[in-house]
Amino acid sequence: MRVVLGVSGGIAAYKAIEVCRRLVDAGHHVTPVLTDAAVHFVGETTFAALASAPVQRSLWEGTIPHTRLGKTADVVVVAPATADLLARYAAGMADDLLTATLLATRAPVVVCPAMHTEMWEHPAVQDNLARLVARGVVVVPPETGRLAGGDVGAGRMAEPAAIVAAVAAAGGPRDLEGRRVVVSAGGTRERIDPVRVITNRSSGKQGHAVAEAAAARGASVTLVTAAPLSVDAPAVEVVRVESAADMEAAMVAAAPGADVVVMAAAVADFRPKASAEVKVHGVPELVLEQTPDILAELVRRRDPGQVIVGFAAETDDPLERGAGKLERKGVDLLVVNDVSAPGVGFDHDTNAVTILSAGGGAVEVPLRTKREVAEALLDRVVGLLTTTHRDPPRTAPADQTGRTAT
């Protein structure tokens, strides 16, 4: 998605730097447009280092830059949007590159007001906002918190995570509107004693990216995660878990009624048969047992028409092993990756996968950000929902689907 990031002249401009970074990390192409007032608070060099394109400031450099930016943008976001910027935009003024771009675009526009409380509450500001909302502009309201000069009150610009989520929702497809999606993420931790655990190297980043992407497409999302990561989508319901048993209980509780279940978590394959109540001193002898097969249980319990996605992290013969797992597990899609490849899998912000389908065929996704991989996966999921799984008969008996093995 091509994003024009407008920055106007307020102290909250420093937070626009983090908005820029997060948008780029999510796989978006970001072009910053700074007003003259903005550079009193933040420097061009910072945005030039983080963004996808050079900083734009002048109406007089290049060929009609405002129409070029306006026509090529998928979404325009202004963060911060000062009282002055909102007034000029509402009045239809085009006296600098940012306001001219706002008038020259037919893309969705998101504004993120930031100002002191007295200004935020002024009737003129509220009238301008009402006029913009009536024109279809998306407003990410400010929060209450610390303001410039040590004051506290309403008018603090929304946090970057909320702004990035609003941009994704405004500019991206809404093809999961009205759908429920449940996603698992992270590597579980199996207790040896109060201090030590058995775990794996999963960061949870790919599962979190799937949850955030699904929310941006309009889905109601529950994320069951064992990863200590924040979620860049405030609307996502987050359920924190630790062990495989915790995750199984949470997923079994969340899955009924969901349209899509994505099992992206790396569940520990083994756990100690018994864990100590106090710290073990010396070298313990561990007797291990297999953890529950959560994916198999979800498939066994699946609702009619429910799309289930599994993941397979492999290091040798990934496609052959993945094809075998696809058949054994009875899932609709299986995402396979070779975690021994450079830039793929654990601890990376990038991934390269092959998406195998129970209906036959495979889609290769070359090395991309994990958000881009998530989008490619959801494109496949949407295809299943709108063909094979359109309007699933939730009340039909499980054995009528031809999919559930008990």
Residues tagged active-site: 200
Q: 25: helix, coil or strand? A: helix
d(CA 185, CA 207): 5
Strand 333-338, strand 29-34: pairing:
unpaired
Output the CA torsion 199→201→204→209 (10° steps). -160
Q: Estimate to the nearest angstrom the gap between the alpha carbon of 3 and the chain centroid.
A: 16
Residue 81 host element (H or E): strand 75-81
Q: Estimate to the nearest angstrom the gap between the alpha carbon of 248 and the chain centroid.
A: 23
Q: Identify the bridge partners of residue 13 per DSSP, sorted by sequence position.
A: none
- What lies within 8 Å, CB to CB, of 311 at 6+ separation is 206, 263, 264, 265, 266, 334, 335, 336, 337
Tokens for 332, please give them: 């609709």
Q: 159: helix, coil or strand? A: coil
Full DSSP string of 284-342 = --PPEEEPP-HHHHHHHHPPTT-EEEEEEEESSSHHHHHHHHHHHHT-SEEEEEETTST
- What lies within 8 Å, CB to CB, of 348 at 6+ separation is 205, 370
d(CA 232, CA 213): 10
List the Cα angle 255/229/254 in 5-degree steps: 10
Q: For residue 51, which amino acid is it?
A: A
Q: For residue 77, which amino acid is it?
A: V
Whether the CB-CB separation of 100 and 37 falls below 8 Å is answered with no
Output the CA torsion 47→52→56→62 (10° steps). 150
| Cβ atoms within 10 Å of 118's Cβ, excluding its own | 12
Ordered alpha helix ranges (H), 219-285: 244-254
Q: Which CB contacts under 8 angstroms, 24+ apart, belong to 319-322? A: 319/354, 319/356, 319/362, 322/354, 322/356
